[in-house]
Structure 1
């Protein structure tokens, strides 16, 4: 997994490396700066004879910029140090690197107020006469610890960098994180650099991974600065993204021996559908079938059974007496058919009638097998919180932001303002001592938690904002549980693969693909992962 420490955890990681493993901080800074220059030359070609304006801010981020300047100088480039603070404000390892570059006599501008910023463009123009246009603009102003709005001449400098990049086509290299981007929240703190590439140190940061920040972060490159892996045993980081090791694990979990039969891959029962919404249950079934579930059955009200029988040949049906909606009166029939089932999906298109709500609450409490709860079933839980009993087995809740808002009794805007807090609040509210609970908060950068870890998903795109996509996901998660995955793994991998399918479809077709199209893409994406073709996904 790719861990994503927040700023405080990253500070603890640095301090652990320095204090417990006796790696001097200046060595970490040296590795950061040298690694950034190596990245720049790999992406941009030789730096020799080119000039590079480097914008220096306070703290260690400014110190990283000084190391970058020195290594560029070593490679016969011409660094231009643009100090946005008085240099004597630098302390510790940054001050040590300042003393070195001062001895080297590198070209320097001190622009610690708005009145002096005009000198930057003039100096760049002068250097461009002899060295051509800048090889890159290096943003070393603010690092991952920024927690306040960028104002004053710092904001003006960021606007100047943006203008130079936009008008002159000069790439911007962000040092550790684009200045002005909240590395924990992903929000813009006043104004923000738009980088061509970000060289982040040690580990990627949560805010950098959010899809909305792609135009600000650009291509994200993690620089190994020499932090021993043992450090992670001493600093707890509880948010991560899927990486190449996870995909290898997923591939192994999906391999099938030659003597397999359908009974080896589970039997999923889907409780969904009602007049006008039979498609929701069918899409969940389609997602399960196309992701490799051994057997899939749809629990069908008697009046809707002909629709299911004719629409999806691969799915079986369990017919109940109620003609239009699944109700509490159908519980005996449902319980009779659960003996050979591995997992249940409930909610896609069920409706929210009182009798249906009673059935949802009964099954939520009584079933010992895993249950994926989606759509109408989530809204029933939100409306009937006081009637929810302690569940007897694993439960996977899959709300989109609107459903999450109803579950928590807040607004969708509040959920979206702090998605991780909403995820944790939902987990805390619905978790009971003796059962497993998984929450998937859908949407851009979906979040999944089973309590200990939060998994941030990096796949998916706005073209997936269409009806039925969540139904396919619920079937996919149920399918993976049927195939032997733990509920939390089925959830995080299901979300990841669901987004991969959407990404592949968008690449080929643009917007306009349907939930059925996405379900039908699942075998291709799964096959690619099984064959190892997706090594660049993570």
Structure 2
């Protein structure tokens, strides 16, 4: 369901503890990493065991562990008969520990090496593959001029050569995924044991190319005992929902209540309701002010309407009308098109004091909560709150730039403030509970950046809560499902232009594709 997503510090702890607690020496891990990179490279290039050794490979090795990985890889390629040149960025005596060990092995094996500063870039044409082993995930400050020049050289060579980055493209922060200030643009990034958190950030996407995660022998017991603070959502989450059996009927498939709609905002609750049904709910009902019920109902006859009181805005009296009906529903979504006019805030206060259904809070419900922060603690652990960065900023009294700079921290903070599960929407959406790992979506889909997309997500989440999932797993699966729908739409709308309802309509295909990925 989840893959570990360590920070560079957490990954360094895994390396250190492998030696201390298991006797797996760093030299062995480096050897394993180089062999994993070799296989990943050959898989990407279609090189088979019987293929001729005809590749010209340039490897750039910095002084740290990434340089050691590149050095060990150069030995394997050389031993297989490929034409190899290893460029080391420091004099040989500057290499220490396991990197020095593997440099000595490469020299004994006859690998041709040159000091990078002694070489004219004009002599480096004609390579099929360029291996980036300059810098690792621990980079924090901006690149020094010499390294910046080597990053630029790698990118220049990459116009005609296949670029393989080891663990992370040099120049990217392993924490934030941002270039500092430039980074290698790889065709393939082979990352060892687990993707690092920086790699999962949207800022890293233009540099990673295809990502290939390869094990290098960190013991499972160690990874479990020292689990990182973040995890990556995977298609294994779809194991939480099963293919429906022949005995299923609409009453057992889940009934989702959508509370929303107001004057001029009748489409949002319908988007949530359609999404709930496209995600597999047996029934969806929209509760709304009576005077807008016909406008809400007009577009979708399959969605039921529950008119409440008179008028076009929400009042506390509507909660009194709604309360006797709540036993019919399995979960609720509060907020799409709710509005903020008149007595709507008091309706929300009455809902929080009365209802016990697992509930998704979205859109205007979040804006109302931001203006009545004393209500946040009433939300409860069976709920999901789904702010976008602007709503998160209002809920936490921050500005949007602060939220975007500290997305993970803000997502966890809202979960702690409410007791609920928090979803911070956007590229690489985050899910957090007050305890447990923060989950990161692998999707950064521009086709989801359209008004109404959040309403669709809230409908998916409502359906998953109605199906009996706990709030954390419902949030993670819903975010993943929504992301896959965006990926599907990107194929048909590569320049965007899809409507939010189309996100809902591809949900059955999206879950089918995610399930198929697990089976493969």
TM-score between the two structures when normalised by the length of structure 2: 0.94
Q: Does 1:88 align with 2:76?
A: no
The counterpart of 1:192, out of the listed 175, 178, 183, is 183
Q: Does 1:107 align with 2:112?
A: yes
Corresponding residue SS for 1:8: helix
Specify whether residues 370 and 325 from structure 1 end up closer, same or farther in structure 2 by C-alpha distance, changes over 3 A only. same
Q: Does 1:257 align with 2:245?
A: yes
Corresponding residue SS for 2:343: helix
The counterpart of 2:430, out of the listed 447, 455, 461, is 447
Aligned twin of 2:299: 311
Specify whether residues 47 and 442 from structure 1 end up closer, same or farther in structure 2 by C-alpha distance, changes over 3 A only. farther
Q: Does 1:478 align with 2:462?
A: yes
Aligned twin of 1:281: 269
Alignment of 1:233-248 (within 5 A): 233-247=224-238
Alignment of 1:75-474 (within 5 A): 75-111=80-116, 116=118, 119-125=119-125, 133-166=126-159, 169-247=160-238, 249-250=239-240, 253-388=241-376, 390-391=378-379, 394-431=382-419, 437-451=420-434, 452-474=436-458
Corresponding residue SS for 2:190: strand
Specify whether residues 392 and 427 from structure 1 end up closer, same or farther in structure 2 by C-alpha distance, changes over 3 A only. closer
Q: Contact 2:176–2:201 (CA<8 Å) still a contact in 1?
A: no
CA distance in 2, matches of 1:25, 1:366: 58
Q: Contact 1:54–1:82 (CA<8 Å) still a contact in 2?
A: yes
CA distance in 1, matches of 2:180, 2:513: 40
Corresponding residue SS for 1:34: helix
Alignment of 1:13-28 (within 5 A): 13-28=14-29
CA distance in 1, matches of 2:145, 2:444: 37
Deviation at residue 424 of structure 1 after TM alignment? 1.8
CA distance in 2, matches of 1:351, 1:120: 65
Q: Contact 1:54–1:65 (CA<8 Å) still a contact in 2?
A: yes
Q: Contact 2:278–2:505 (CA<8 Å) still a contact in 1?
A: yes
Aligned twin of 1:129: none
Corresponding residue SS for 2:22: coil
Corresponding residue SS for 2:506: helix
Aligned twin of 1:65: 70
Structure 1 alignment gaps of length 5 or more: 126-132, 432-436
Deviations 1:165-194 (A, max 9, x none): 12xx11111111101111121111222111
Q: Contact 1:172–1:194 (CA<8 Å) still a contact in 2?
A: yes
CA distance in 2, matches of 1:533, 1:234: 28
**Runs of 4+ residues over 4 Å off in structure 1:** 533-536
Aligned twin of 2:43: 42
Deviations 1:275-311 (A, max 9, x none): 1110001111111111111221111211111123332
CA distance in 1, matches of 2:11, 2:370: 37
CA distance in 2, matches of 1:506, 1:83: 41
TM-score between the two structures when normalised by the length of structure 1: 0.91
Instruction: Tell me the C-alpha RMSD between the 2 structures.
Output: 1.8
Corresponding residue SS for 1:52: strand
The counterpart of 2:497, out of the listed 474, 491, 512, is 512
CA distance in 2, matches of 1:192, 1:418: 22
Q: Which moved more, 1:57-66 or 1:232-241?
A: 232-241
CA distance in 2, matches of 1:47, 1:238: 45
Q: Contact 2:335–2:362 (CA<8 Å) still a contact in 1?
A: yes
CA distance in 2, matches of 1:522, 1:60: 43
CA distance in 2, matches of 1:535, 1:199: 23
Q: Count how many residue pairs are aligned between Structure 1 and Structure 2.
A: 513
CA distance in 2, matches of 1:93, 1:206: 25
